[in-house]
Structure 1
Amino acid sequence: MKVIKQLNSHATQDGDGVNISRIPGFDGKHLDPFLMIDELKSDDHSDFMGGFPAHPHRGIETFTYIIKGGFEHQDQMGNKKAIRAGDVQWMSTGFGVIHSEMPLADAIEGMHGFQIWLNMPSTEKLRPPKYQDTTEHPAPEHKNSQGAVLKALAGSWQFDQQEQVSSLQELAANGMLADVTVPAGAEFTHPPLSQTKVMIYIHSGSINTDQGGPVMAGSLLILEPGSDIKFNSQTGAGVLILAGNPLNEPIAHMGPFVMNTQAQLRETISDYQSGKFGTF
């Protein structure tokens, strides 16, 4: 496995005072087609109980994955779903979405999850929004002989000569995501993916690669295009694998909106203020 860059998350806040760790990519330099990786990981309710009250989006796809705890999603399209441990939610905002994500009252054992933003191609930014989750079709997973588990969160994965096909198949930029759990002393290997941007985010424990280690939780490794995926862990680890094809398009970003030009951002704000996104 060839790592060409390592980035580290930093602490910040979003929503109503929710404490998160973030790796931003709005400059388009390293994460394209991804825009942001947010991790919420805390057993202190004060870090997340404010949640994310109603707010708009345009031009992006939001991908939410819950490892522990849960949120209730609600949007102006009429969707209202409880997203709990193991669940995935995908929202392709297109022309515009207004939604909220609030902690579930019965999520009493803390929270660990992700919201990941994926950019949309310029030709799709104004199409109607879409929503899908895995509450009725859970993400499939496979365990190999060493005890390593791959859970297919989005896309189709070939692991240990077994195909794992997620019900989420239409992410922008051929996006795919998987959660991999490796027990202490085990190794994970996966053949090269077809996407040219492949990244590994360590969310639990630490891993070792051919280039050294340990690489600690909160680190993002960007792989050379065409590289295989291979690492081991002496402590046990959990990692996300993110893959997609870079869009190589201009990024104009303002808060929850991501377009290609400043003029498009001004039009977006006008559309939202005039009620064209709908009523929450």
Structure 2
Amino acid sequence: MSIRPATSLSMAQPTMEGAGVHLHRAFGFHEPRRFDPFLLFDDFRNDDPAAYANGFPWHPHRGIETITYVLSGEVSHSDSLGNTGTLGAGDVQWMTAGSGIMHQEMPKGNAQGQMHGFQLWANLPASLKMTEPRYQDVSSGDIPTVVDDDGTSVRVIIGDFWGKTGPVDGIAAEPLYLDVSVPAGLRKRLKVDTYRNTFAYVFAGAGRFTDASAPRGVLLEKEVAGQELNIRDLSGNQTLVQFGSGDEIEVQAGPDGIRFLLVAGAPIEEPVAWHGPIVMNTPAELQQAFDDLRNNRFVKSAH
């Protein structure tokens, strides 16, 4: 077994999308090969309904898949194929845009006005860019949670982990998508396929990920023993950690524990032509997509 080193650490950056939704973007629109097969990752959380209530009105997608994971509040969705639904706390939706879909997503806070969730974009290989669109809506109760003897808890959203299989399947990127909680002070190793690009996104608590070349690890706390860390090591909430090669990650939870998403996927290694919500392989395909959009040919199939 070899521990994956934490090769980079960065903070999610504030931005706005849709009709003025305030969110934090961990990565996206730059260096698409770096996280291949993943293209973009957003953390949308806010306690102020004015910062998200206008949502994401009707917009197109082609050539990608999106996964939406809601922690609190709700997200109502509808699309050009007649699908409608609402995601609540703990629910997941994977949308395969494929050949083209128009949809909208409208967030709503919980009783306290809080809204929190994540959206991840995964690329489709050339052979599936124009596949038929589809949805997988998964309720929270259908997502297995496995708890280890030491108290580590893992929600298995996609993939196989610790004897459980996530309910979302048939995804081109063959991803692993886990919601991991490690108790305070605990050191834990988690197995990840050697050949998959892997990242973690910390959204609660603190800790560090062990680096085989630097046993102290990449620290995810602003202060250790009262000493300020170098800016390269600063982290905590809303922190993205990218890993190098190996078949395990090792995390040391801080005094309040740590909770993070662990995501891995098989790289596609194909050219990327990307503009806004449409991702194809060549500029000509991208131009064709926007021509289709302008000429009402974008939605290729219907139920």
Structure 1 residues 101 and 107, CA gap change in structure 2 (3 angstroms): farther
Paired residues, what number? Answer: 276
Q: 2:290 aligns to what SS in structure 1?
A: helix
**Alignment correspondent of 2:129:** 125
Q: Which has the higher contact order (CA 8 A, sep 6+)?
A: 2
Give distance in 2, aligned partners of 1:113 and 1:171.
20
**Alignment correspondent of 1:60:** 64
Q: Residue type of the partner of 2:219?
A: G
**Alignment correspondent of 1:171:** 171
Give distance in 2, aligned partners of 1:61 and 1:147.
33
**Alignment correspondent of 2:219:** 213
**Alignment correspondent of 1:37:** 41
Determine what percentage of the aligned residue pairs are the same residue: 34
TM-fit CA distance, 1:136: 7.8
**Alignment correspondent of 1:231:** 251
Pick from 116, 121, 138: which aligns with 2:120? Answer: 116
TM-fit CA distance, 1:78: 1.8
TM-fit CA distance, 1:174: 1.4
Alignment check: 8 A CA contact 2:65 2:123 kept: yes
Pick from 244, 257, 262: which aligns with 2:278? Answer: 257
**Alignment correspondent of 2:73:** 69
Q: TM-score, normalised by structure 1?
A: 0.92
Give distance in 2, aligned partners of 1:165 and 1:227.
19
Give distance in 2, aligned partners of 1:241 and 1:212.
16
Q: 1:263 aligns to what SS in structure 2?
A: helix
Give distance in 2, aligned partners of 1:168 and 1:194.
22
**Alignment correspondent of 2:23:** 20
Give distance in 1, aligned partners of 2:157 and 2:109.
25
Structure 1 gaps of 5+ residues are none
Structure 2 gaps of 5+ residues are 211-216, 221-234
1:277 pairs with 2:280: no
Q: What do residues 108-162 of structure 1 show as CA deviations (whole Å, max 9, x unaligned)?
A: 440110011001101110111111011286211111122221001112212xxxx
**Alignment correspondent of 1:89:** 93
Q: Residue type of the partner of 1:217?
A: N
TM-fit CA distance, 1:239: 0.4
TM-fit CA distance, 1:175: 1.6
Q: What do residues 202-224 of structure 1 show as CA deviations (whole Å, max 9, x unaligned)?
A: 11122212214124122211112
Q: 2:128 aligns to what SS in structure 1?
A: coil
Q: TM-score, normalised by structure 2?
A: 0.85
**Alignment correspondent of 2:269:** 248
Runs (4 or more) in structure 1 with deviation over 6 Å come to: none
Q: CA RMSD in A?
A: 1.9
Give distance in 1, aligned partners of 2:259 and 2:26.
17
Q: 2:271 aligns to what SS in structure 1?
A: coil
Q: Residue type of the partner of 1:213?
A: L
Structure 1 residues 94 and 236, CA gap change in structure 2 (3 angstroms): same
TM-fit CA distance, 1:59: 0.4
Q: 2:170 aligns to what SS in structure 1?
A: coil
Give distance in 2, aligned partners of 1:243 and 1:105.
29
Q: 1:172 aligns to what SS in structure 2?
A: coil
Q: Which segment drifts farther, 89-98 or 205-214?
A: 205-214
Alignment check: 8 A CA contact 2:92 2:140 kept: no
Q: Residue type of the partner of 1:42?
A: N
Alignment check: 8 A CA contact 1:57 1:97 kept: yes
